Structure 1
């Protein structure tokens, strides 16, 4: 039985990397195990690890679901000096999505459900799951 998932990105400048991911996620890490390693629990049982090390070329993308991809793209491009990235859609795919990179070359994506009712149902479900956690 799989009950948790982690995704790790490596950054060559750990302090700058932690600051960059704090700005992306808009909060402090949830866990600092030792020097050169921090984690955020993005959702119950879903962890993002930032570790000091050599980034893996072509890593990712790991994708983050958002309620407004346009607003998040604008915030990320402004706050993190990310080059504006294209938002895609395709017939038969229930989301729009876009991908950008962090300063170390790790690929990160955003996605947003197109159907507003489906999006709100997912947000409500998550709110019930994480009541008091986030």
Structure 2
């Protein structure tokens, strides 16, 4: 039985990555076990970890559910200075999504 999910993202600029992902999640870090590594508990037992290292181009995407995608897109465009992204949907699924890249 699966009871926890953890996703790791590697960043070359750790200080910038720590700040960027903290802004993305709109919360302070929950776990700092050592230099070059931080973690946020997004929802109970669901973690996003950011570590200093070489990013993998084959990684991702990271999909996070939000209650108001349009409002969240506006916040991300303003706070993270990313380009406004399109919101997609499909008739056969109830989900909507948008895709953007981290720095």
TM norm. shorter chain > 0.5: yes
Q: Determine which structure has more spread, i.e. the larger CA radius of gyration.
A: 1
Deviation at 1:35, TM superposition (A): 0.5
2:46 aligned with 1:57, yes or no? no
Q: CA-to-partner distance for each residue in 1:29-65, whole Å, 9 max, x for gaps?
A: 1000100000000011100000000111032111111
**Number of paired residues?**
103
SS at match of 2:97: strand
Equivalent residue number for residue 35 of structure 2: 35
Partners in 1 of 2:42 and 2:24 — Cα distance? 12
Partners in 2 of 1:84 and 1:59 — Cα distance? 22
- Under a length normalisation based on structure 1, what TM-score does the superposition of the two structures give? 0.74
> Deviating runs (4+, > 6 A) in structure 1?
none
- Under a length normalisation based on structure 2, what TM-score does the superposition of the two structures give? 0.95
Equivalent residue number for residue 22 of structure 1: 22
Question: What pairs with 1:1-134 in structure 2 (closer than 5 Å)?
Answer: 1-103=1-103
SS at match of 1:76: helix
Equivalent residue number for residue 122 of structure 1: none
Unaligned runs of 5+ in 1: 104-134
Unaligned runs of 5+ in 2: none
